[in-house]
Amino acid sequence: MSSTAGQVIRCKAAVAWEAGKPLVIEEVEVAPPQKMEVRLKILFTSLCHTDVYFWEAKGQNPVFPRILGHEAGGIVESVGEGVTDLQPGDHVLPVFTGECKECAHCKSEESNMCDLLRINTDRGVMIHDEKSRFSINGKPIYHFVGTSTFSEYTVTHVGCVAKINPLAPLEKVCILSCGISTGLGATLNVAKPKKGSSVAVFGLGAVGLAAAEGARIAGASRIIGVDVNSSRFEHAKKFGVTEFVNPKECKKPVQEVIAEMTDGGVDRSVECTGNIDAMISAFECVHDGWGVAVLVGVPHKDAVFKTHPVNLLNERTLKGTFFGNYKPRSDLPSVVEKYMNKELELEKFITHEVPFAEINKAFDYMLKGEGLRCIIRMD
């Protein structure tokens, strides 16, 4: 691989030319990494709902042409000036948020919201020189959340790359670079349910099922899945979910139904939909005195959270989380080890696989609500 270091690499990438139109496989030029950057050879990538959301460009600034993709696994091809903790051949997960290790957030044990490398969905260029590393015939193709993994090669900031165990199968652990870690960490790192406790999970998509998996790993005795799509209930049992509630089928607010089921409320709840009503229900369904609700889903920009202050005065706790409170470089290697030690099962999240040439099929599966994660093989 070192023979390409310092040179422009020509490779295939799936380019989103405009909102909502199928991606086009193009030959792109990928420039060498600059200061504090690494160039990665992507071997496997997967599709997350966030990619679809920005591809559709509804309700946010459209940035096109762009190379999407942010859940992936690959190998370091070359490193730029100043990079000391990665070298060619390292197995890595690129991550949409970063860890510079120098800002106040990175130095805090309580935060993973790096000042320098926090997710920025509008930025289509690299931080170092505000230029893109991708081009076609000299015209720039923009980056996406610092990763752009729908390309055989990509360039990222070193702070957005987690070095992992080279024995870990990249076609499985690639899904840990976004959604699965977000849900898992929301439960294990933030909600922190005790063994034998009760947990309600709102939304049974990939992130919600990862939150349920976290509750299973923590030893929760009751895991109540809440979703308006009853067809998801059977599959959710694989992730430890023991009971199900469909708010559409309830004759009273779902938080009241859950309180009745659990003698006053669940010990913990994790909300993974972004729906403001679900967020309120998730908070109001936890037990007074010790209940903790964790919000994971991203709400509509005009959404307002309303609850009576007495719910807080009665010693319920409301928390938010970003990427499951994991620091990418410091913490993701240990999440990979959970999989390697068979504590964490990833196979059940992977429902489809397609070759890179058929990447648009992955979008079709997600738009139809079929499956959880589709792995895209780059070879």
Q: 228 CB contacts (<8 Å, ≥6 apart)?
A: 246, 247, 248
Among 45, 99, 373, 374, the active-site one is: 373
Cα–Cα distance measured from residue 109 to residue 7, given in angstroms and rounded to the nearest whole number: 39
A 10 A CB-CB count for 35 gives: 14
How many CA atoms, within 13 angstroms, populate the side-chain half-sphere of residue 99? 21
Cα–Cα distance measured from residue 33 to residue 336, given in angstroms and rounded to the nearest whole number: 26
Cα–Cα distance measured from residue 113 to residue 117, given in angstroms and rounded to the nearest whole number: 8
Among 26, 29, 49, 317, the active-site one is: 49
Residue 42: phi and psi, rounded to 5, are -85, 125
Among 4, 29, 118, 235, the active-site one is: 118
The answer to whether residue 11 is catalytic is no
Q: 272 CB contacts (<8 Å, ≥6 apart)?
A: 183, 186, 201, 202, 203, 205, 207, 208, 211, 296, 297
The tokens describing 308, both together, are 């009576």
Among 11, 160, 174, 178, the active-site one is: 178
The answer to whether residue 100 is catalytic is yes
Among 39, 66, 70, 268, the active-site one is: 70
The answer to whether residue 308 is catalytic is no
**Angle, CA of 254, 295 and 206, to the nearest 5°:** 85
Residue 286 · residue 226 · CB < 8 Å: no
Among 37, 71, 213, 271, the active-site one is: 71
The answer to whether residue 133 is catalytic is no
Among 103, 123, 128, 235, the active-site one is: 103
- The DSSP H or E segment spanning 107 is helix 104-107
Among 11, 66, 99, 114, the active-site one is: 114
Among 100, 160, 174, 374, the active-site one is: 100
Q: Using only C-alpha atoms, what is the Rg of the chain?
A: 21
The answer to whether residue 103 is catalytic is yes
- The DSSP H or E segment spanning 307 is none
The answer to whether residue 352 is catalytic is no
The answer to whether residue 50 is catalytic is yes
The answer to whether residue 106 is catalytic is yes
The answer to whether residue 222 is catalytic is no
Q: Which residue is it, tokens 């690129």?
A: 94
Among 11, 48, 160, 285, the active-site one is: 48
Among 11, 37, 45, 50, the active-site one is: 50
Q: 327 CB contacts (<8 Å, ≥6 apart)?
A: 99, 106, 112
Residue 95 · residue 119 · CB < 8 Å: no
Active site residues: 48-50, 70-71, 100, 103, 106, 114, 118, 178, 373
